[in-house]
Structure formats: structure tokens, C-alpha cells
Structure 1
Amino acid sequence: MTVTVPSAVPPTVLREARVPEGGMYEGARTLRRLPEGWQERPYQHLELVPQGCTIGAEVRGADLARPLDPALREELNRALLEWKVLFFRAQHLTSAQQRDFARNWGELETNPLLARGSSEDVVRFDKGGAATSTFENVWHADVTFRERPALGAVLQLREVPPFGGDTMWADMAAAYDNLPQDVKDRIDGATAVHDFIPGFARFYGPERLAPYQDEFPPVEHPVVRTHPETGRRLLFVNTSFTTRITGMEREESDRLLRYLCQQAHVPEYQVRFRWQPGDVAFWDNRATQHYAVNDYGSHRRVAERVAIAGDRPF
């Protein structure tokens, strides 16, 4: 696939340059945190401590166990849109409090293929020790195989290993911004098929997956979606659930998807969070991908997640 490489390369080389098989190339990247024209305002009800250039901020001064007043909810939503993932230290929420906080952003949803947590609308990830390692070590956005993928999720760590077990998030607006223009032109208006089976077939056999095929048939979403609140353009394909680009020959689709999915791997687009017990992360699933790092050996890592229902990508 021919692309334009950074301007430091002599013009005579540009016509011959090609993206390496791994999908990466070197050079300066545009790291723009806010949408064009976005009016940045000070926060009156919370303190934000940035954890990355374009993505990730720790929120101080917010007690998630208490009901949110409208002013605080508005500022948290603005912070989510501006930073894409928010971190809250030492909240130690009950499952009911975690659900109540998430409901400030809409109806909740559950994934029947994941283990149920301590109460309704909560899923539990219990890893390490004798538990089977699943749903880690892959960049993805949650449930893009749904017609309306999740708006976001609220994750709390109940038990943290003595080392490792971090989670990383990638800014998919930055990933789109830095695509070469000819790639943007190629995917503008394109759609891709998303299917739950490839993402879960690594862990479950056909007999477990078969009952859900009617509930979750393959769906098509834009390769580049528009954020419904900010208007930002976002790369919206992922390794777990995106199977092919509509209307392309399989080989061409596979090659382009490999390249697009590799964009989440760029460190400049990422933030990494080191958990402590009771910490909470709240992320915008429309604008990010995430990756749970399984580097804690036989130690135990227990997390509970509440997901917020979203809208249809456009």
C-alpha cells in the first residue's frame, strides 16, 4: 500500500515509499487532544491531573460513592470527552455504588459471554492463580459486534497483584489524525463487518458460542466513526471483532485492517495506568481501545466492570 511518508524524506523518495508490513513508520506525529474549535474551560468542581499528552487524566476531589449533582456530572462528562479515560484513586465502591455512578451516563448493559459479578449489571474478571487467563493481551473496543456498541465502561479493581496487571488505553482520534492522507481517502465512507465469534473463539468452544449467533449477528460499522458529542473523527476497527472491510477482496481487506489495527500500538497515542485496590477507571469506548496486560504470573487480579449502553456509530 503506497502512502506519503514524513516530510523529512526527500521528495524523490515519496513516490516509492511503502508502509512496512508491520504497519508503522517513523516521524513526528500530530498529538491533538481537543477537537478543532473546542472551547477549553477551567474546572470548578474537580481537579484534573493529566497522565498523558492526549489521553488519560486522574480526577481528584470527586467521591463516586455519593450521588452526583448536575454541575459535577457536567464537568465529569466534559473531562471524559476531553481526556477519553478518567482515573479515580481509592474509591472502594460497592457494586451498587458503581452501578449508580455509571447510570449517570445512561442505561446499563451486560455481556452474557462474560462472568457475572456480585450483582446485576456487573461482570467480573478474576485472573491469576487457578483462574483461566482470558480477554487480555489484545487491543480492542468493547462489544463493537453490537448494533449499538457500549458508550463506555466503569472498571474497579477489587484485588491487585503485587506487580503488573496494568491497563493501557489508546486514543483513536490521534490514531485517525496521523493516518496518511491517501489512507484517509481510501477509508472515508467505508464500512467494516464486526462479529463476536472471532473475539471469543479463542476462549470458548462452538457449543458455547452457537446459542448467541442469533442474538449477535454480524453488523457493519463505519471504519471511521464520528463522535456523537465532540464531532471528532475516530478510527473504529479492532483486532478482536472487526473481520473484513465491506466490498474489498479478502487479501486487500486483511492487509488494510492489519495496518489500521496496528495504529493502537503507537506509544504516543497511549496512557498506562498502574492499579491500586479500589481504583476506578471510566473510559469512553467510542473514542478509545484498551489492553489489559497479563504480566503478573500466578498472582491474582480481580476486576468488576459496569458497561453503559451506546448508540449506533455513524
Structure 2
Amino acid sequence: METLIYPGPTDVLAAYGPLIAPRVPEAFDDRPYERFTVRPMTPTIGAEIGGVRLTGGLDDELLAELRRALLEWKVLVFRDQDIDRADHRAFAEQWGELEQHPFFKYIQPGQTDVDVVTLAKDAETAGTENNWHHDITWHATPSLGAVLRAVEVPPVGGDTLWADTGAAYDLLPADLKARIDPLVAEHDWISSFGRSMPAEAVEALRPQFPAVHHPVVRVHPETGRKCLFVNMLFTQHIVGMDPAESNELLTTLYRHVQRPELQCRLRWEPNTIAFWDNRACQHYAASDYFPARRVMERISIIGDRPVGVAG
């Protein structure tokens, strides 16, 4: 197989040729799935799961197989799931404690039930999720993942994209990996959510949610895979690095994650559900459908504190 060529030692953006990363670490349990079908969306990230109904609770065997599929594919898509909010919540609860989002009630009109966030977009309410990001990295324990349910979709557009940050790390040149492995970055919400919130709300919430530090390279707690863990929405700078150097390095990593070879793209249909591993991928909601209406409901699951390469 022809190998990936890098014109310079760290010029990752100038790379050309095949961009092929392993889908999972070598020790991953890759037995066939017995309880459902798997239709890959790309070679490394995203799969449509067939033969599963997300109502009535999942038995332990099915839940274990779905967990393995989530770790393998990072994004699981379930079509034709005509479920209500209670079913949605019940499915998410089988993966962990649900997350209460502290900011959406200030920036999303009418949002009150903040463990089920309704993302209603129309001609008057613009979609602003079109930045690559991991969810809630401004928190000490960012989300494990999120379950997104399509309630109303536009005739065309409004797709969601995900990028495999484990594959992104694997495809970096060795010297760049060595450079970023020990680094730590600061994450914050003031420059994103804070811009859309009343000043008094920002002042009240700031002591509860100070800026946090996370490793630039996160070790996935279940697979052991190294994953990039910086994103252009919430990452502020690399701790202890000259600002210009920090900006240059982060920009390089952000642009690398944006490579199409690292991504899958979902065209939504009514009653489609997507469940993704926030520890192993970033996502981006395309805002290309206005003035059409797009309504999604999202539930996220509390995760753990990210651990870096040095532990």
C-alpha cells in the first residue's frame, strides 16, 4: 500500500496520499455482532445499526454489544425509531447518569427541561453549532456521549458531521505526537455560551464553572486509544506556551481534524437517532437549511475526568 507522505517533519496540513488509520486499537475485541446488523458509514467512524428497537429497555447482552459497537464506530445511527421523550431518556439512562446543561435555559428560548435539550432552529433562531467541538469540555468531567433525536428535519440540509479524533492522532507524524503528548490546554465557556447569556447569569454561574485544564491528548478510558482532545469552540490556549505558538499549534490540530478522511456525515430523516462517543470524536452541525425548520432533542451523559498520556 502506498504510504502517507509528509513534505516536512511537522507539516501535517501538507500531507497527501492515503489517509488510513486503524478503526480500533490492536487489542480490541472485534468479534461479529450477533444481536444487530452494522452498516459502516466510513472505514473508521460511523455505523448504521439495524434490527434494534430503542423502546422498553435493552437487555444486558444487547447493551454490551452496543457498547462494543460504540467503542468501535464512535457514532451509532438508528433509523425509524418512533419514540417519545420518555423512551429517549430511558435509553440514555442505560449508559450513565444524565447531564443537566446549565446554560441552555439562558440561550435557547423556552428551554426549561435541561436534561433533554431541545434544539429548535427556524428562520428566526439561527443554528450556531457549526463549529467543530467536543461537548462540554469546559467542565471538569466532559460528557461521555450524547443521544440526538430528529423530531423535525428540513427537506434538505442540516446534516451532522463527526470526526474521529483517535484516527486524527494516529495519522500525525511521530515528532508532532511527541510534542503534544505531554501538553495541557485550558477550556472555557465564556467566549461561547457566555456571549449569548445575560451578564447577570454569567456572573452568577462563573464561580461554579471556572476554566478547566485537560490534556491535549486524551487516553480513552475504555479502549486505551490516544485521541486529540482540543476543539476550536472551547479550547482557549495551551498552558505555559507562548500565545502565538499555542495558536499556531492548535490551528494545525483543528485543521487536521477537519480532513474529510477522518469524518462521517449523517443525513437526518424523521425518527433518526444518533449516539456518539464524545471522548473519541468531535461533531459539527451544518447550518445550511434556513429558513427551513430543524428540531432536534439531545440528551447527554456525564463522563469522567480526562486522563493524559502521562496519567
Q: Does TM-score exceed 0.5, indicating one fold?
A: yes
Equivalent of 1:257 in 250, 255, 272 = 250
Find the counterpart in structure 2 of residue 228 from structure 1: 221
Q: Which runs of 5+ in 1 are unaligned?
A: 1-5
How has the CA–CA distance of structure 1 residues 26 and 229 changed in structure 2, closer, same or farther, with 3 Å as cutoff? same
Amino acid at match of 2:178: D
Which residue number in structure 1 is paired with residue 155 of structure 2?
162
Q: Structure 2 unaligned runs (5+)? A: none
For 1:253 and 1:181, how far apart are their aligned partners in 2? 19
CA contact (8 A) 1:142 1:285 kept: yes
Matched, 1:176 2:166: no
Supply the AA of the counterpart residue of 1:129. Answer: A
Alpha-carbon contact 1:134-1:203 (below 8 Å) kept: no
1:124 is matched with 118
Tell me, yes or no, if the aligned pair for 2:102 and 2:114 is still in contact at 8 Å.
no
How far apart are 1:181 and its partner, in Å? 1.2
Residue 25 of structure 1 deviates from its aligned partner by: 3.0
| Identity across the alignment (%) | 48
Instruction: State how 1:1-314 maps to structure 2 within 5 Å.
Output: 14=8, 19=11, 23-114=13-104, 115=108, 119=113, 121-131=115-125, 133-204=126-197, 206-314=199-307
Task: List per-residue Cα deviations over 1:91-123 (Å, max 9, x = no partner).
Answer: 122111111101111100021211475846200
Output the aligned Cα RMSD: 1.8
Note if contact 2:4-2:16 (Cα within 8 Å) is conserved in structure 1. no
CA deviations on 1:271-314 (whole Å, 9 max, x unpaired) are: 00000111100000000000000010200000000000000000
State the aligned residue count: 301
In the aligned structure 1, how far is the partner of 2:162 from the partner of 2:232? 14
| Contact 1:117/1:304 (<8 A) preserved | no
Question: What is the TM-score when the length of structure 2 is the normalising length?
Answer: 0.92
Classify 1:7/1:234 alpha carbon distance in 2 versus 1 (closer, same or farther; 3 Å): closer
- C-alpha distance after superposition, 1:47-87 (max 9, x if no partner): 11111110000011110012100010001000000000000
TM-score relative to the length of structure 1: 0.91
Q: Which moved further from structure 2: 37-46 or 236-245?
A: 37-46
Q: Taking structure 1 as reference, are residues 198 and 178 closer, same or farther at Cα in structure 2, changes over 3 Å only?
A: same
Q: Distance in 1 between matches of 2:5 and 2:102?
A: 50
Structure 1 counterpart of 2:118, one-letter code: R
